[in-house]
């Protein structure tokens, strides 16, 4: 018995050694983003964009993940990470060490990009070595913004004014000898850059460096000893308790209060641009109330948004790849097509506008009774929100579940909840203990005979037209009755404030996602070496799923994981994960779709949906998945998996030690380019009626789906509604 216990302990210890800490795995992903900025085969301005993304990713990482770890280090310092047994403070220290290593790479990459820009007659001004002409032009630009600057001078014994998270400030040390003071100049309402041109060379002047350079002109009566540019990152790990959410008070008002609180949270990082003496730096850090090891001095500008003002030759950017708007169906043809066949759309190779057309078609169809949809993140001027508002204006029962806790989109969703309510939509919110992260829509209609039919859409990405052109995502639309009935049951539960129940055909988290996933893995494990699992997702760190994947590997099952970001499982470990491969594709578009494939040939089961294999997706979120059952949808999903399998250009292969390598000879195998060619040219057509089905005369255009009313009245009504929704 003791021997069996020791054996189990040894196996558990061996398994823990093949797990990777979540935070460290994410940093490895961000390093791959940084490597795209260093890749000389990537066009120059696209490399600059990847550098921007790297910095933006890191900003959010500190706000959220380091914010969470900081709270854990204060509240539960002796509670380790369950996978790797690392304590919170240990994780933070390791993160800071890696970020400093990556900063050296980032600064080298920035210098290379800046030099290449200058070689192409685009110069980002460096005020340490500026020409007289550039100095004169810059002085004029400084004069243009001078009246927008409001310096605040305080004594050395006074606290700093509050510095808002993510906003740039100039801090200067003034005076002589012991009579010194501090000057703080916020720049949050001033454009980040200005430009001018001399002799065909575009000059880019960064506002923070411009103001710092001309401080003596701004502070004429003061003696400026030294100065720097400062950016503070504040903790965003602020949340409402279960009791607060369940109270009957206005949830929108509570969310607004939480957002206000978040703005004033403690700093988790500070960045300094500019050299200070050691005493001045120490004093500044003390006044910022941030720990010394979380202060980073960098030479890369905090804001690289000037990229948008650079013209240059076509070779500066990726070749144009516009989403295909034409999938072969026009508004008015979607219902007829979907009644006969499932429709799969792949973004950003195809446009999201056909789905918007489907909502408008539903709005104008007199048979349609209701539209129900879950909304997590929407674009600033959402066409989908406008279509839903139009449907409500046309008398449809439109139910919108808006998840107010979509991090950093909370205010946007609060605003949309008010707009959609004003438009006549019914608006409900997420559950107390579960975010509603599903991408689910159900359209219900009743024909003249009283027969109820449903169209169900389940996607992998948000109803957001902007990210629909930036992320790879999938959307499956079907008239399968079992899917529609089960999707309706999800909305019935959500309307009651309940967690959706387990259903038969769909996978719904948290009720059945994990159990169905493990069941499918058991199915493949029973096949031994004939088993095959291919999963494309954004992240994996769930212990139960990873343990089952290890069992599959040990049984001889071939396991392919295409994981863009966090992957806490090491592949290729002898006797444990030697049959598992992990690939991460980082390219022009953000890989975001989720595909779960089990088996091969006719026995293959294929699912798409909204959730990754993170603990939060399996346990604390409402997710929805649907199986692809028709030959054409299955074929398209397999085309995606094949393209990923063959990608040696943008695919990074995870090594046993957790690092990633890419094939240096892999040019021309980009999965994204291959899939763009495939899906942008794909068209569908209305199926011919079955032979035994009597022919029905084609209706006159519009008469079948539009009740009689003056055309001008309809457009005027919607125009007024649209302005009401999206007024400035």
Known catalytic residues are 437
- Return the residue matching tokens 């900081």: 70
602 Cβ partners below 8 Å, 6+ apart?
Answer: none
Q: Which of 150, 219, 223 is nearest to 187 (CA)?
A: 150
Write the burial class of residue 205 (CB in 10 Å: 0-12 exposed, 13-18 middle, 19+ buried).
Answer: buried
What tokens does 97 get? Answer: 């060490």
Spatial distance between the Cα atoms of 384 and 358, rounded to a whole number of angstroms: 10
Buried b (16+ CB within 10 A) or exposed e, 466-493: ebbbebbbbbbbbbbeebbbbbbbbbeb
Whole-angstrom Cα distance, residue 273 to residue 277? 13
Query: Can you say whether residue 312 is alpha, beta or left, with left for phi > 0 and alpha for psi between -120 and 50 degrees?
Result: left
Angle at 584 between CA 583 and CA 587, to 5 degrees: 135
Q: Distance between CA 497 and CA 435 in Å, rounded?
A: 12
CA-CA distance, 266 to 282, in Å (whole number)? Answer: 18
Q: Which residue, 616, 534, 657, 630, is CA-closest to 239?
A: 616
CA atoms within 13 A on the CB side of 235: 20
Dihedral (CA of 524, 528, 531, 534) sign: positive
Spatial separation of the C-alpha atoms in residues 252 and 258, rounded to whole Å: 10
Asked if 656 and 570 count as a contact pair (C-beta separation under 8 A), the reply is: yes
What is d(CA 565, CA 217) in angstroms, rounded to the nearest whole number? 48
Token pair 């919607």 in the structure block, residue: 718
Asked whether the beta carbons of 280 and 288 are under 8 A apart, the reply is no
Query: At 608, phi and psi to the nearest 5?
Result: -130, 155
- CA quadruple 137, 140, 144, 149: dihedral sign: positive
Burial class (CB in 10 A: 0-12, 13-18, 19+), 131: exposed
Do the strands 435-436 and 440-446 form a parallel or antiparallel pair, or are they unpaired?
A: unpaired
Per-residue exposure over 258-293, b if at least 16 CB sit within 10 Å of its own CB, e if not: beeebeebebbbbbbbbebeeebbebbbebbebeee
Categorise residue 642: left if φ over 0, alpha if ψ from -120 to 50, beta otherwise.
alpha
Q: Where are the alpha helices (DSSP H) in 527-584?
A: 543-554
Q: Identify which of 302, 313, 300 has the alpha carbon closest to the alpha carbon of residue 43.
A: 313
């Amino acid at each position: 018995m003791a021997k069996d216990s020791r054996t189990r302990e040894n196996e558990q210890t061996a398994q823990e050694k093949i797990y990777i800490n979540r935070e460290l795995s994410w940093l490895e992903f961000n390093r791959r983003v940084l490597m795209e900025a260093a890749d000389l085969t990537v066009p120059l301005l696209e490399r600059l964009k990847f550098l921007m993304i790297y910095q933006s990713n890191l900003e959010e990482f500190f706000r959220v993940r380091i914010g969470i770890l900081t709270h854990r280090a204060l509240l539960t310092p002796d509670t380790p990470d369950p996978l790797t047994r690392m304590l919170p403070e240990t994780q933070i220290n390791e993160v800071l060490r890696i970020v400093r290593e990556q900063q050296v790479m980032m600064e080298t990459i920035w210098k290379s990009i800046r030099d290449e820009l200058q070689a192409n007659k685009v110069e980002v001004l460096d005020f340490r070595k500026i020409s007289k002409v550039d100095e004169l032009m810059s002085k004029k630009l400084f004069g243009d913004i001078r009246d927008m600057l409001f310096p605040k001078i305080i004594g050395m014994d006074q606290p700093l004014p509050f510095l808002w998270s993510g906003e740039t400030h100039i801090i200067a040390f003034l005076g002589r000898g012991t009579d010194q003071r501090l000057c703080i100049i916020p720049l949050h309402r001033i454009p980040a850059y200005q430009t001018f041109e001399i002799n065909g060379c575009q000059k880019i002047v960064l506002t923070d460096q411009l103001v710092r350079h001309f401080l003596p002109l701004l502070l004429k009566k003061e003696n400026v000893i030294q100065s720097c540019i400062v950016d503070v990152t504040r903790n965003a790990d602020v949340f409402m308790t279960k009791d607060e959410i369940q109270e009957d008070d206005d949830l929108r008002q509570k969310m607004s209060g939480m957002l206000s609180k978040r703005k004033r949270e403690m700093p988790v990082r500070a960045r300094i641009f500019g050299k200070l003496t050691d005493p001045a730096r120490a004093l500044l850090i003390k006044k910022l109330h941030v720990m010394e090891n979380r202060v980073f001095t960098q030479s890369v500008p905090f804001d690289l948004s000037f990229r948008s003002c650079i013209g240059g030759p076509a070779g500066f950017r990726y070749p144009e790849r516009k989403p295909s708007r034409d999938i072969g169906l026009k508004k008015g043809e979607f219902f007829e097509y979907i009644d006969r066949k499932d429709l799969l759309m792949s973004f950003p190779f195809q446009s999201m506008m056909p789905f918007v057309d489907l909502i408008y078609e539903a709005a104008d169809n007199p048979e349609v009774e209701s539209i129900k949809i879950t909304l997590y993140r929407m674009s600033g001027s959402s066409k989908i929100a406008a279509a839903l508002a139009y449907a409500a204006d046309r008398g449809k029962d439109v139910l919108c579940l808006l998840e107010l806790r979509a991090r950093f989109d909370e205010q946007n969703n609060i605003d949309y909840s008010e707009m959609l309510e004003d438009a006549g939509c019914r608006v409900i919110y997420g559950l107390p203990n579960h975010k509603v992260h599903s991408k689910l829509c159900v359209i219900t209609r009743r024909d003249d005979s009283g027969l109820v039919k449903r169209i169900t859409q389940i996607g992998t990405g948000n109803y957001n037209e902007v990210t629909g052109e930036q992320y790879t995502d999938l959307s499956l639309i079907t008239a399968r009755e079992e899917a529609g009935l089960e999707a309706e049951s999800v909305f019935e539960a959500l309307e009651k404030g309940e967690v959706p129940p387990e259903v038969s055909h769909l996978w719904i988290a948290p009720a059945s996602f994990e159990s169905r996933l493990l069941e499918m893995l058991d199915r493949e494990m029973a096949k031994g070496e004939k088993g095959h699992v291919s999963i494309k997702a954004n992240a994996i760190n769930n212990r139960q799923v990873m343990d089952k994947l290890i069992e599959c590997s040990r049984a001889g099952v071939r396991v392919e994981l295409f994981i863009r970001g966090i992957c806490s499982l090491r592949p290729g470990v002898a006797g444990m994960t030697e049959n598992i491969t992990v690939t991460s594709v980082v390219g022009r578009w953000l890989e975001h779709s989720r595909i779960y494939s089990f088996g091969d040939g006719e026995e293959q089961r294929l699912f798409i949906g909204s959730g990754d294999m993170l603990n939060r997706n399996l346990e604390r979120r409402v997710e929805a998945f649907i199986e692809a059952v028709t030959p054409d949808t299955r074929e398209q999903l397999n085309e995606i998996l094949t393209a990923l399998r063959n990608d040696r250009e943008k695919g990074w292969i995870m090594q046993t030690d957790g690092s990633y390598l890419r094939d240096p000879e892999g040019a021309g195998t980009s999965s994204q380019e291959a899939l763009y060619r495939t899906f942008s040219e794909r068209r569908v057509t209305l199926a011919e009626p079955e032979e035994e089905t009597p022919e029905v005369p084609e209706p006159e255009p519009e008469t079948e789906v539009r009740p009689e009313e003056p055309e001008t009245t309809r457009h005027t009504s919607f125009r007024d509604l649209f302005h009401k929704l999206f007024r400035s």
